Amino acid sequence: MRYLSTALLALIVVLVLISSKPEKEIYNELYRPQYHFTPIKNWHNDPNGLVYYNGEYHMFYQHNPKGNEWGFMHWGHTISSDLIHWEHFPIALYPDENSEDKVDCTAYSGSAIVDEKNLLGKQTGNEKTLVAFYTSQNCGQRIAYSTDKGRNWDKFEGNPIIPLNEKDDARDPKVMWHEPTQKWVMVLFRKTSEDDKTKGVSFYTSENLIDWEWKSHIHGFYECPDLVKLQVTNRPDEFKWILFDGDGSYFMGNFDGETFTPESAKLKSDFGKNYYATQTWSNIPKEDGRTIQIAWMKDGKFPEMPFNGQMTFPSELSVTKFNFGYKLVRKPISEIEKLHGKDYSWKKEVIFPGLSNNNLIKKVKGDCLHIIGEFDLKTVENFGLMLRHSKKKAGTEILYNVKRGTVSVLGNTVPLMPIDNKIKLEILLDRTSIEIYANDGQTVISNCFTPEEGLEGVELFSNGGELEVIKMDIFEMKSIWRD
């Protein structure tokens, strides 16, 4: 009997160890990003419903709980107190009308706000109501609300707030408060006729979050619009409105609460291949003062992973007036410093091609790094970094060509002019992504990649002349999941 009990106990211990092992490894898979958001499992894409409330940053996202492919859209849900460490929560929004279809009445993209004045009349205690606006695909624009800080969500009984028009293909409502007119504004992708040439963004206004009046339309947009007001950093009394398209491209201009008037051509905010469905957080406290954006890194490859898709690292947006005009600037949020581990640092190092000190950073290895460097071009013809490589296998090259004034990575070649003969590069390397913020965020390139297992070398190289490393820091990055 004692032997049986001992054997049973041993079996239980073994089963516990076996069952617990995947938990220890689930955030450390080969192609699991270590400081970019990913769901535990299954498909995810667009960020949705970004809203700050009571010390918490809510991020919802397009999610298929049935598998690793697109379809059957729900709103997944995650919450962070610092925009870098994320806690997973149960699915927030399910398809409407009890739909089991892959598309019809599923919960497409949208936004969220805080109902400070209790316009919906749903507040039951001290907590303000959170209100999510979303497209129920082929079933109109709809509302869901939460009275318990976003933990549970109910569908609004008056849905849809904008009924389906089968001809306009309307979707992806972004709702924001417009202070000068004291009205809520909805920015909605749609067509004004059956002609695809009329695709663009329509603007609606409301005083009660339920009844919406169409005001104007601007052509030349496709999906996931966003509208933000930014102060010009070096002109404190001047502001610009930025109207984003789904791919992150934007018009800069003016918005009077009903009509957007462009003051620029359509410009790219990211030159990578994997940047899409940009959204900014609403309700960020005035004392913070930042406009914070995140996007889905579309078309990334995650072989044999339990999940499919990752987000960019959150970034702060600003507008600066340069000698060539106004420009949107994007930088990683300062909270990234919380993830810094071991620091490798160099200052005022001059390197020449072919000399033993050419690769200053040869002692650095890793698959998750934050690289910040400023370089004086001196007489060099080109220089760059080789990431995730070994002596036998080439990794991924980041190359700056001085004569052409371009930076190239993963098939993208982007104009990048030096400033006082200097180039600044800030690089976020994770297991499946490379994000480059050049010249203090004036030019940004976001790409996914799938490096070979075991390649962790890093190399700094130059060709054709002298290059000075004015300052360079490389930080090993901590995992947001395993600490």
pLDDT in tens, 453-469: 999 999 999 999 999 99
Which residues are 438's β-sheet partners?
425, 443
Q: Which fold has domain 341-477?
A: Jelly Rolls (2.60.120)
Q: Where in the chain is the domain with CATH 2.60.120.560?
A: 341-477
The reported pTM is 0.92
Rounded-to-integer distance, Cα 56 and Cα 458, Å: 37
pLDDT in tens, 131-174: 999 999 999 999 999 999 999 999 999 999 999 999 999 999 99
Q: Which fold has domain 35-334?
A: Tachylectin-2; Chain A (2.115.10)
Q: Which amino acid is at 57?
A: Y
Greatest Cα pair distance in the chain: 87
Q: Where in the chain is the domain with CATH 2.115.10.20?
A: 35-334
Per-residue DSSP letter, 478: P
Strand bridging mode 369-376 / 422-430: antiparallel
* 115 in active site: no
Kindly name the residue from 46, 168, 247, 367 that is annotated as catalytic: 46
Per-residue pLDDT of the chain (483 residues; tens, 9 = 90+): 443 444 444 444 434 444 444 444 789 999 999 999 999 999 999 999 999 999 999 999 999 999 999 999 999 999 999 999 999 999 999 999 999 999 999 999 999 999 999 999 999 999 999 999 999 999 999 999 999 999 999 999 999 999 999 999 999 999 999 999 999 999 999 999 999 999 999 999 999 999 999 999 999 999 999 999 999 999 999 999 999 999 999 999 999 999 999 999 999 999 999 999 999 999 999 899 999 999 999 999 999 999 999 999 999 999 999 999 999 999 999 999 999 999 999 999 999 876 555 678 889 999 999 999 999 999 999 999 999 998 888 899 999 999 999 999 999 999 999 999 999 999 999 999 999 999 999 999 999 999 999 999 999 999 999 999 999 999 999 999 975
Strand bridging mode 412-415 / 382-389: unpaired
